């Protein structure tokens, strides 16, 4: 059962190659590092009285395991599935087990202005919101949205 912001963190998941932010294609992804993004997420969540559980993996199965963990122990999920957006039915299936848990998909670049294969995201089929093309600021927007949705769910309960 999904938890509230008062008793559970927001899980922020990052997919493959995001550990190289700041080094990898800065013309697309900018110069901020994953540590910079984590600090931004922590600061944004704190404004809502929330915390974050920030993770990154290059391995699809590990992301699936973390999503399964989130459905029981977290108030919501922010996910940048990176390249798995376009290929992973397994991540979609895991997210689909998270009934009632707010999920927001985030992309640093505007995937709709990039190669055609990047225009489709399996994750978007489950996401309550999708943020793309806002740079790392998109993570702050995503944390705010999950916090709002988790708070709204708590207020209705």
Q: For 52-70, what is each residue's pLDDT tens digit?
A: 999 999 999 999 999 999 9
Q: What's the whole-model pTM score? A: 0.90
The confidence score (pLDDT) of residue 134 equals 92
- 74, 107, 122, 139: which is the annotated catalytic residue? 107
pLDDT tens sequence across 129-155: 999 999 999 999 999 999 999 985 544
Q: What is the dihedral of CA 82, 105, 87, 118, to 10 degrees?
A: -70
The confidence score (pLDDT) of residue 2 equals 55
Distances in Å between the Cα of 26 and the Cα atoms of 3, 30, 31, 133 are: 37, 4, 6, 14
pLDDT at 19 over 90: yes
Q: What angle do CA 91, 117, 18 make, to 5 degrees?
A: 55
Phi then psi for residue 140, to 5 deg, are: -60, -45
The confidence score (pLDDT) of residue 155 equals 46
Catalytic residue flag (residue 29): yes
- 29, 84, 122, 139: which is the annotated catalytic residue? 29
The confidence score (pLDDT) of residue 106 equals 97
Return mean pLDDT, the chain.
Answer: 89
pLDDT tens sequence across 104-123: 999 998 777 666 756 578 89
Catalytic residue flag (residue 107): yes
């Amino acid at each position: 059962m999904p938890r509230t912001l008062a008793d559970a963190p927001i899980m922020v998941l990052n997919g493959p190659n995001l550990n190289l932010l700041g080094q990898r294609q800065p013309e697309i992804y900018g110069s901020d590092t994953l540590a910079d993004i984590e600090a931004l997420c922590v600061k944004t969540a704190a404004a809502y009285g929330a915390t974050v559980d920030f993770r990154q993996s290059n391995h699809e199965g590990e992301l699936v395991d973390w999503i399964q963990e989130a459905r029981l122990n977290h108030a919501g999920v922010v996910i940048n599935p990176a390249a798995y957006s376009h290929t992973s039915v397994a991540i979609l299936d895991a997210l689909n087990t998270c009934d009632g848990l707010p999920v927001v998909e985030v992309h640093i670049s505007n995937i709709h202005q990039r190669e055609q294969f990047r225009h489709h995201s399996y994750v978007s089929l489950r996401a309550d919101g999708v943020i793309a093309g806002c740079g790392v600021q998109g993570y702050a927007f995503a944390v705010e949205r999950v916090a709002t949705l988790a708070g709204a769910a708590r207020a209705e309960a």
